[in-house]
């Protein structure tokens, strides 16, 4: 299999960055999780949490925040938990979250339908090919760890495009205006491309996992935690 995919959730569903040897880089918008494409891909990285704890915070999210520079740490959501998938409205979900220990932001609430969609599709065995990636982690890594301007600004967008081009994903600019703004924003295209880069890095063996890959003789507690469905809670970049 030679197809590589990077996915980002967007208003219209899922933005896909696709790379094939015969076609190069292309993008497409799917209204639902593209199960057939994902099943046929060699590596997939998606900017959405995979695996949720029943309570508390994911260690991989805390590690991701620690890896980002000051000023970018809030770009990682840290208070998503599995029971929140069962709530029908934000006030009730936030009340439960506060009682459990940490309130739920409105931004995090809007992610839950996409997280539930992935959760219905993936099994632990799928994580050999389908992983959670984080665009801000890989882009700040490419930027030498220095803070990037927000991705919604002209400066932040231009710098991200330049970093991706230097990493081998050139020609992104024409795609930014290809999709209706009501369905996908330019930064959705950039984030999907960054996830595609993570998929390429995994194929090349250069991707980094949080928590860090334990040494062969490390104790079991150093391995990534698993949720109640057996999904590993880890972030790649």
Output the pLDDT for position 220. Answer: 47
**Residue 124 pLDDT more than 70?**
yes
CB-count exposure of residue 90 (10 Å: 0-12, 13-18, 19+): middle
Query: Do the strands 4-10 and 13-20 form a parallel or antiparallel pair, or are they unpaired?
Result: antiparallel
Pairing of strands 130-132, 43-47: parallel
Q: What is the mean pLDDT of residues 139-151?
A: 97
Give the mean model confidence (pLDDT) for residues 69-94.
Answer: 96
User: 24 Cβ partners below 8 Å, 6+ apart?
Assistant: none
Residue 208 reports pLDDT greater than 90: yes
Rounded to the nearest integer, the mean pLDDT of the chain is 95
Structure tokens at 165: 């081009």
Q: What is the pLDDT of residues 157-171, one digit of tens each?
A: 999 999 999 999 999
Q: Look at residue 81 in the predicted model and tell me its pLDDT.
A: 98
Mean pLDDT of 85-109: 97
């Amino acid at each position: 299999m030679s197809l590589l995919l990077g996915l980002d959730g967007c208003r219209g569903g899922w933005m896909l960055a696709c790379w094939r040897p015969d076609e190069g880089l292309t993008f497409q918008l799917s209204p639902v999780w593209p199960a057939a494409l994902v099943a046929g891909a060699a590596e997939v990285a998606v900017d959405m949490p995979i695996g949720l704890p029943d309570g508390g915070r994911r260690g991989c999210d805390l590690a991701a925040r620690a890896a980002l520079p000051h000023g970018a740490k809030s770009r990682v959501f840290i208070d998503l938990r599995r029971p929140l998938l069962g709530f029908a409205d934000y006030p009730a979900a936030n009340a439960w979250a506060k009682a459990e220990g940490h309130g739920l932001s409105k931004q995090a609430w809007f992610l839950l339908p996409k997280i539930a969609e992935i959760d219905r599709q993936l099994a632990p065995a799928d994580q050999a090919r389908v992983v959670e990636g984080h665009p801000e982690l890989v882009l700040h890594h490419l930027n030498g760890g220095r803070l990037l301007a927000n991705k919604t600004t002209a400066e932040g967008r231009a710098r991200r495009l330049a970093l991706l081009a230097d990493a081998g994903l050139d020609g992104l600019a024409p795609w930014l205006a290809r999709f209706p703004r009501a369905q996908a924003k330019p930064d959705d295209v950039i984030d999907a491309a960054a996830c595609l880069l993570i998929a390429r890095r995994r194929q090349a063996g250069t991707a980094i996992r949080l928590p860090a890959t334990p040494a062969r003789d490390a104790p079991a507690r150093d391995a990534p935690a698993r949720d109640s469905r057996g999904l590993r809670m880890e972030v790649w970049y």
